């Protein structure tokens, strides 16, 4: 796992998915406690660039490297 995800913070704005250079982020059919879809990261595609961390306005991501 290269990126840790705090799903309960997500508001499904999609900024992370749109800006990920490897298209590694997608939305699942599962909803968090506030009714927003949770995100999932394809570990094989992720290069730990930190763009999702930079773009997310709600502090969902922590890049572990
Ligand atoms: S660290 Fe970079 S490559 Fe990995 S999911 Fe985030 S934006 Fe995409
Ligand atoms: S940028 Fe943050 S709040 Fe927006 S969809 Fe991605 S994880 Fe959710």
- For the stretch 29-41, pLDDT in tens is 999 999 999 999 9
Q: How many angstroms is it from 58 CA to the middle of ligand 2?
A: 7
In a domain, 33, yes or no: yes
User: Sign of the CA dihedral 50, 52, 25, 21?
Assistant: negative
Counted domains in the chain: 1
In a domain, 65, yes or no: no
Residue 13 Cβ inside 6 Å of ligand 1? The answer reads: no
Whose atoms come closest to the Cα of 3: which ligand?
Answer: 1
How far apart, in Å, are the Cα atoms of 43 and each of 7, 33, 35?
A: 16, 24, 25
- Which CATH number goes with the domain that contains 12? 3.30.70.20
Q: pTM value?
A: 0.94
* Sequence-distant (≥ 6) Cβ neighbours of residue 54 within 8 angstroms: none
The pLDDT score that the predictor gives to residue 37 is 96
The pLDDT score that the predictor gives to residue 65 is 80
Task: State the average pLDDT over residues 38-57.
Answer: 97
Q: How far apart are CA 55 and CA 52, in angstroms?
A: 5
Percent of the chain topping pLDDT 90: 97
């Amino acid at each position: 796992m290269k990126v840790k995800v705090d799903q309960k913070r997500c508001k499904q704005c999609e900024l992370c998915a749109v800006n990920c250079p490897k298209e590694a982020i997608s939305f699942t059919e599962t909803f968090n406690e506030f009714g927003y879809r949770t995100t999932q990261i394809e570990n094989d595609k992720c290069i730990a660039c930190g763009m999702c961390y930079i773009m997310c306005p709600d502090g969902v991501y922590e890049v572990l490297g």
